[in-house]
Every structure is written in structure tokens, then in C-alpha cells.
């Protein structure tokens, strides 16, 4: 027994997992008298001291975004915050065995079981990617198989807090994730997206079917190099009884180029569905085929936005919401950190404001801008994107394509596309706005936005498999960053590490 109590509520009991970034404990929620799992992370072990406070803030934000996803295949997040030097995440305690142990106990792993695990993971990933969230570290140790055969995914959202490419909270120059399950674009430090998780799913499925990951080695760098340049061994060469369709799917998931992988988790599920067992008796507990008739299929495409929330209606006309009162309520909620509630009120008040003041009125423009900004703060990039595009088009029609506000809207739209995993579209948008930032910058001013866009272009080129162009892009940026800031600036140091990593992996 540990005896430590977190946040005056959660009593730690026994360590059930440990790594360089923290520990996982069993514990008890003293308020609700239930068993929980508590993950403790140490920001000072994951980032430079100057980034630790930013990481704390981002950790709570990412946990809030993660809590938006509800799915039976995801561990439920109960609470998150900081306690002393630790960040803590309180989760549902899941009974069962992790998938790595489950695989070790069943050799060879029945291929219908592998299909059952993968199909359930597709349902989880489809829900996660719709938010959008990228897991970034899908592997057997992050998957639990419960006694009823259902699969639960752990650690959603945590990897995104400590990742180096999109969130930029650490400057270690090393990709976050487990090398054996890491997609080529992630290994090279490129932008990640749903396609990155699909590659990890392919590695996991290959391991279940063959008993080993497709790429192993004595060093992490050697493993990453094999991900980049070696073809995987087809699983039927090891187990001829595996269906050809299943082998073909694994090879598609393990494609080096993300554009050659399946389009999404829904497509992978549809390929697995014919291989799932028909109705019958399960083999026993911990049988991953048990849940299937089709109840764990991914949800079909849902509407981009939920129904608008109710907004204050205190105006003389009771049927017309009071825009001013709603704006005051939004300010109050944002001040309290209740971003999701503020988003719903803004989404509900916009139609009323447009009817009262006109679609192109300053009031509606301000509300729409606040709505888009708040959606992005809440991680709802899919909903923010059309609002930003509308704002950009309206502003460009009035002030021209080079107007600073037009460019800001387009830049934020590109950020949304990047977060949604639409790498080619994001790359095109960044390239379209970059010349304006390069040409319009007054002499002697900071080139920060142009440099940021150029770095993102490099990461997206890596994600699209164009390693040569990405290297040239980042190398040119390094030259200009050293001229502008000096060789010891954090950006220059980060770029040198990234270029060195790419060169070492390509040169092995």
C-alpha cells in the first residue's frame, strides 16, 4: 500500500505499470467508494523546465478533449489535474489482460481472434478519429481484453500531450511512441493523422497473426529505418491457414505511403467483417470474437455538429434569444474554463444573430470568429473548419486575399486540416498563404509565422512520404532561421536534430 492521496480524494494502492514518464496505480476513489486507475506523469521528466507549466495546461486541455469521446471500447476518464509535481489522470479500472499478455498466453493466436480484436479496435478508432484525436501510441500494452471478450483502448490523449510535432511541447528531437509500432511519417518527425494509427493497427495485427512485430532490431534507430525502407513479410509465409484477404489487408495497412493505406477505420472494418465468425458459442472468457454479430461496428458518419444548445431568451420577444445576454454568458463560461458549454451557446445564437442583424453584420462576424476560435480551443476542428473558410471568403471579398485577417483565417483553416489528418489539403493551403507572409513582412520584423508555416510544410511532406522534398524544406528553413535568430535559437536546434534524425535513418 502506498498511502498517498491525490487531490484529497484518490488513495493510491499498487503500481501496475511504470515507464520513464510516470506510473500507473490502482487506487480508490474515496468520494464514490470505487476502484480506479491513476496515471501519474512528471512534466519535468518529459520537457524542458520552461515548458513544464505549458505542459500542465495542455494536459488538462487534452484530457478535456479526450473526455468528449464516448465509446464502449475506450477507458472512461473520471478526472484530471495536477498534484504537487505530478499530473494525474483518473480512469476507469479495467479488469482483464492486456493484449501483449493475452498474445503470450495463446501461441499461435487464433486468427479469428486477431480479426475480432482488430475489428473492435476499428470501431474505437473510428470514434476517436471523428473528434479528431490521433492515438499516436497504439500497441498491445495499451489494449485490454476484458473477460467478456470486449477490447478497451488505454492512454488516449496522453501521447498527444507529449508529442513533438503537432503540439510542440517538447523539444527532444525524438518522436513519441513505440518504435516497433511507429509509422514511417511519425518516425521521420512528420505530421501525424488517422493514417498513423492505421499503420500501428497493421503492426499490431501482423504481430497477432505471426507472433512477432514486422520490424525488429537491436536499436530504436534500426527499427525505424526498417519501417521506412523494408517491406513487411507477408503473414501467410508464416501461417498458410490465414485467409488471403486478411494478409492483403495487413499489407495495405503497412504501406509506407499513407495515401496507399485504407481511407479510414471504417474501411478496415468493412474488410474484416466477412472474416468475423458467425453466430455460435464463444471459446470461453477473454474470447475477442464473443461480442460480434455486428454490434461493435464503427458508427456511420455523423453530423458534423450536435444540436445547438439552448441560449438565453430574455429579450422582450420571448421566442427570440437575447444575443447580448448570450454573449455575456459565453464570456462568463470562457472565464471559468467551460469551453464546451460556450461552444454550444455560440453555435445556437449565431442563427438568431444573423436573423436580427444580418449575415454580414459586424455583430455576426465577431460572433462567428469567436465561435471558430472557441471550437479550435475545444479541439473541435471538424466544426471549426467550415466557419473559418466562410470567414476567410467573406474577408477576402472585402479586403483582398493578402489582408492579414484573411490570411489568419486561412492559416487556422490549414491547422484544422492538419489536425484532421488531411495532409495533402493542409499542405496546399499552407503553400497558398506562405507567399503573402514572406512578401508582406516589413523589413526588420520577426519572420515567425512564415517560419512556422515552412516547418509545417516540411512535416506534411514527410507525412506524404516525400522525404527528399521535406529534407530540402527543413534544411532551407534551418539556414534562414540561423540567419534570423542565430545558431543557438530553439528553432534552429530543433531543426538540426530533426534533420540529423532523418539523415541517420536514411543512411543506415
Most confident of 74-83, 445-454, 465-474: 465-474
More confidently predicted of 498 and 165: 498
Residue 416 has pLDDT above 70, yes or no: yes
Q: How many CA atoms lie within 13 A of 138 on its CB side?
A: 30
- 127 and 298 in contact (C-beta within 8 Å)? yes
More confidently predicted of 306 and 55: 55
Confidence band (pLDDT; 50, 70, 90) for 264?
very high
Confidence band (pLDDT; 50, 70, 90) for 275?
very high
Residues 22 and 33: their CA atoms lie apart, in Å, by 25
Q: What is the pLDDT of residue 462?
A: 92
Q: What is the pLDDT of residue 171?
A: 33
Residues 169 and 95: their CA atoms lie apart, in Å, by 33
Question: From residue 178, how far is each of 216, 221, 229, 300, 450 by CA, in Å?
Answer: 12, 11, 18, 31, 32
Residues 351-386 have pLDDT tens digits of 888 888 888 888 888 889 999 998 988 888 999 999
Of 15-29, 101-115, 190-204, minimum mean pLDDT range: 15-29
Strand positions, DSSP E, 99-221: 143-145, 151-153
Q: What is the pLDDT averaged over residues 447-460?
A: 93
Question: 37: part of which helix (H) or strand (E)?
Answer: strand 34-41
Percent of the chain with pLDDT over 90: 44
Residue 198 has pLDDT above 60, yes or no: yes
Tell me whether residue 485 is exposed, middle or buried, using C-beta atoms within 10 angstroms of its C-beta: 0 to 12, 13 to 18, 19 or more: middle
Of 285-294, 433-442, 474-483, minimum mean pLDDT range: 285-294
Q: What is the pLDDT of residue 458?
A: 95
Tell me whether residue 105 is exposed, middle or buried, using C-beta atoms within 10 angstroms of its C-beta: 0 to 12, 13 to 18, 19 or more: exposed
Residues 78 and 67: their CA atoms lie apart, in Å, by 8
Respond yes or no: is residue 137 known to be catalytic.
Answer: yes
Q: What is the pLDDT of residue 81?
A: 84
Of 43-47, 76-80, 238-242, minimum mean pLDDT range: 43-47
3 state SS of 27: strand
Residue 388 has pLDDT above 60, yes or no: yes
Average model confidence (pLDDT) across the chain: 83
First to last CA, the chain: 48
More confidently predicted of 63 and 6: 6
Of 43-47, 103-107, 432-436, minimum mean pLDDT range: 43-47
Residues 6+ apart with CB under 8 A from 121: 73, 138, 143, 151, 153, 201, 204, 265
More confidently predicted of 313 and 181: 181
Q: What is the pLDDT averaged over residues 76-85?
A: 85
Of 244-253, 333-342, 471-480, minimum mean pLDDT range: 333-342
Q: What is the pLDDT of residue 304?
A: 42
Per the residue annotation, which of 137, 155, 287, 378 is the catalytic one? Answer: 137
Residue 183 has pLDDT above 80, yes or no: yes
For β-strands 86-92 and 97-98, DSSP reports them as unpaired
Q: What is the pLDDT of residue 335?
A: 80
Confidence band (pLDDT; 50, 70, 90) for 149?
confident
Confidence band (pLDDT; 50, 70, 90) for 308?
very low
Q: What is the pLDDT averaged over residues 458-486?
A: 93
Percent of the chain with pLDDT over 70: 83
Q: What is the pLDDT of residue 338?
A: 76
Q: What is the pLDDT averaged over residues 435-440?
A: 82
More confidently predicted of 68 and 114: 114
Question: 491: part of which helix (H) or strand (E)?
Answer: helix 490-507
Q: What is the pLDDT of residue 111?
A: 96
Q: What is the pLDDT of residue 296?
A: 62
Confidence band (pLDDT; 50, 70, 90) for 237?
very high
Amino acid at each position: 500500500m502506498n498511502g498517498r492521496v491525490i487531490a484529497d480524494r484518490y488513495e493510491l494502492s499498487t503500481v501496475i505499470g511504470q515507464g520513464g514518464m510516470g506510473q500507473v496505480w490502482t487506487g480508490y476513489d474515496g468520494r464514490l467508494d470505487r476502484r480506479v486507475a491513476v496515471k501519474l506523469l512528471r512534466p519535468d521528466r518529459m520537457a524542458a523546465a520552461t515548458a513544464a507549466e505549458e505542459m500542465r495546461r495542455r494536459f488538462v486541455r487534452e484530457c478535456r478533449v479526450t473526455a468528449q469521446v464516448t465509446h464502449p471500447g475506450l477507458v472512461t476518464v473520471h478526472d484530471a489535474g495536477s498534484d504537487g509535481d505530478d499530473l494525474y489522470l483518473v480512469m476507469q479500472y479495467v479488469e482483464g489482460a492486456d493484449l501483449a499478455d493475452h498474445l503470450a498466453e495463446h501461441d499461435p493466436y487464433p486468427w479469428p481472434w486477431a480479426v475480432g480484436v482488430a475489428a473492435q479496435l476499428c470501431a474505437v478508432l473510428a470514434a476517436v478519429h471523428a473528434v479528431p484525436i490521433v492515438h499516436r501510441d497504439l500497441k498491445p500494452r495499451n489494449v485490454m481484453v476484458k473477460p467478456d471478450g470486449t477490447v478497451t483502448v488505454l492512454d488516449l490523449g496522453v501521447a498527444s500531450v507529449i508529442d513533438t510535432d503537432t503540439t510542440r511541447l517538447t523539444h527532444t528531437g525524438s518522436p513519441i511512441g513505440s518504435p516497433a509500432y511507429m509509422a514511417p511519417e511519425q518516425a521521420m518527425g512528420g505530421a501525424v493523422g488517422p493514417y498513423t494509427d492505421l499503420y500501428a493497427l497493421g503492426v499490431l495485427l501482423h504481430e497477432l497473426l505471426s507472433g512477432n512485430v514486422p520490424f525488429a532490431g537491436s536499436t530504436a534507430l534500426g527499427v525505424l529505418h526498417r519501417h521506412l525502407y523494408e517491406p513487411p513479410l507477408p503473414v501467410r509465409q508464416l501461417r498458410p491457414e490465414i485467409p488471403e484477404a486478411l494478409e492483403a489487408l495487413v499489407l495495405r495497412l503497412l504501406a509506407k505511403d499513407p495515401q496507399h493505406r485504407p481511407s479510414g477505420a471504417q474501411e478496415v472494418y468493412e474488410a474484416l467483417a466477412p472474416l468475423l465468425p458467425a453466430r455460435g458459442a464463444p471459446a470461453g472468457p477473454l474470447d475477442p470474437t464473443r461480442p460480434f454479430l455486428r454490434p461493435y461496428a464503427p458508427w456511420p458518419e455523423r453530423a458534423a455538429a450536435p444540436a445547438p444548445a439552448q441560449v438565453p431568451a430574455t429579450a422582450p420577444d420571448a421566442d427570440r434569444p437575447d444575443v447580448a445576454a448570450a454573449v455575456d454568458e459565453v464570456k462568463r463560461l470562457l472565464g471559468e474554463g467551460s469551453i464546451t458549454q460556450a461552444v454550444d451557446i455560440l453555435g445556437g445564437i449565431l442563427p438568431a444573430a444573423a436573423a436580427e442583424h444580418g449575415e454580414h453584420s459586424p455583430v455576426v462576424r465577431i460572433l462567428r470568429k469567436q465561435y471558430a476560435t472557441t471550437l479550435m480551443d475545444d479541439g473541435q476542428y471538424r466544426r471549426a473548419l467550415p466557419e473559418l473558410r466562410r470567414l476567410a471568403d467573406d474577408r477576402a471579398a472585402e479586403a483582398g486575399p493578402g489582408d492579414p485577417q484573411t490570411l489568419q483565417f486561412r492559416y487556422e483553416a490549414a491547422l484544422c486540416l492538419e489536425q484532421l489528418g488531411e495532409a495533402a489539403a493542409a499542405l496546399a493551403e499552407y503553400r497558398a498563404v506562405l507567399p503573402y507572409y514572406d512578401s508582406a513582412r516589413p523589413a526588420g520584423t520577426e519572420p515567425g509565422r512564415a517560419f512556422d508555416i515552412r516547418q509545417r510544410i516540411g512535416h506534411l511532406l514527410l507525412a506524404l512520404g516525400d522525404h527528399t522534398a521535406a529534407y530540402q524544406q527543413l534544411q532551407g528553413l534551418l539556414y534562414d532561421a540561423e540567419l534570423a535568430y542565430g545558431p543557438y535559437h530553439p528553432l534552429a536546434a530543433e531543426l538540426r536534430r530533426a534533420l540529423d534524425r532523418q539523415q541517420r535513418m536514411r543512411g543506415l
